[in-house]
Amino acid sequence: MHVSPRVRWSPKFGNAPEDYEDASCLKQSNRERDVIRLAVADGATEASFSREWANLLVDAYCAGQFTKDVVSQLQQKWLVDVGAKSLPWYAEEKLQMGAYSSLMGLTLHAPIEGEVGKWEALAIGDSCLFQIQHDKLIVKWPLSKSALFNNSPILLSTKPECNDDQDKLTILGEWTPGDLFFLMTDALAQYYLQAVEQGDSPASVIPDFSLQPFPEWIADLRSSGQIRNDDVTLMRVCVA
């Protein structure tokens, strides 16, 4: 199995790169040579230390360790990491409120002899997976329409009492050589679905960024009001 991954990101307009709170990760397993894991996550803007939480989630997913027990360990790690130093009153209060993030993880399995390749995905919140086969959008998940996005998605919290295991969704699928996968955080996913709903070709909504760099493309979409001003992350993977 061969993949050609590209990751692009842009902080929301008005923010510095260090304010960016999405995260992404791609790993080919050392133990399982025929497995590739990819993930994007979107740390919630209203909370503090969301970037740290989003990074813990994508790293754990790509390490193939995303069980309930591991999430519990990540929650403790987050608290230890961000609460290690003495904090002013407002940072302590924010810490008590916890951090929140979406997660979209995709695991690609190489085809076993005579069979097609398989994939599985996990979603919490509104980061999305799209699969394109012969210019047809055959998977749009977990949100399938641009109208379904809102400002209060269910996210994974650092506070165990705020999570419900039923919020974690999984899906299985198959891939054939030449298939294209996109993982996107919510603002771009909503724009993408809107463009496809309006008749654009699923494979060409996201351009090849050799002519126009990703940050400029996003800036154009923002200034023309076609995309919400938010952190944006795109992971594009062509599999062969």
Partner 1 sequence: MSYTAEISRANPSCFLFVIDQSGSMQDVMDPTNVQQMDAPVSVDGRTYTQTASGDSKAKGLSDAINHWLFELVLKCTKSEGPRDYYHIGVIGYGAQVGPAFNGSLAGKELVPISEIANSPARMEDRTKKVSDGAGGLVDQAVRFPIWFDPLANNGTPMCDALTRAHSILSQWVPQHMASFPPTVIHITDGESTDGDPTSVAENIRKLATNDGNVLLFNLHFSTNKAKPISFPDNETGLPDQYAQMLFRISSTLPDHIREGAKKDYPVTEGSRGFAFNADIVELIRFIEIGTRPSNLR
User: Which residues contact partner 1 by CB under 8 A?
Assistant: 12, 14, 18-19, 45-46, 48-52, 82, 88-94, 96-97, 151, 160-161, 229
Nearer to partner 1, 99 or 139 (CB): 99
| DSSP states along 149-217 | --S----EESSGGG--GGG-EEEEEEE-TT-EEEEE-HHHHHHHHHHHHTT--TTTSS--TTTS-HHHH
Give me the residues paired with residue 24 across strands: 40
Please, which residue, 25 or 82, has the CB nearer to partner 1? Answer: 82
Q: Residue 161 Cβ, how far from partner 1 at the closest point, in Å? A: 5
Cβ proximity to partner 1: between 160 and 177 the closer is 160
Q: Judged by CB, which is closer to partner 1: 30, or 151? A: 151
Instruction: Provide, rounded to whole angstroms, the least separation between the CB of residue 90 and partner 1.
Output: 5
Q: In whole angstroms, how close is the CB of 217 to partner 1 at the nearest point?
A: 20
Q: How many other C-beta atoms can be found within 10 angstroms of the C-beta atom of residue 113?
A: 4
Residue placing its CB nearer to partner 1 in the complex, 9 or 78:
78
Cα gap 57→80, rounded to integer Å: 15
Min dist CB 201 to partner 1, Å, is: 32
Is 115:194 a contact under the CB 8 Å cutoff? no
For residue 65, give every residue at least 6 positions away whose Cβ sits within 8 Å of its Cβ, in sequence order, or none: none
Beta bridge partners of 105: 39, 122
CB of 30 to partner 1, least distance (A): 32
- By DSSP bridging, strand 103-109 and strand 117-124 are antiparallel
Our CB check for partner 1 shows the closer of 50 and 101 to be 50
Residues 222 and 10 sit within 8 Å (Cβ to Cβ): no
Rounded to a whole number of angstroms, the minimum distance from the CB of residue 124 to partner 1 is 20
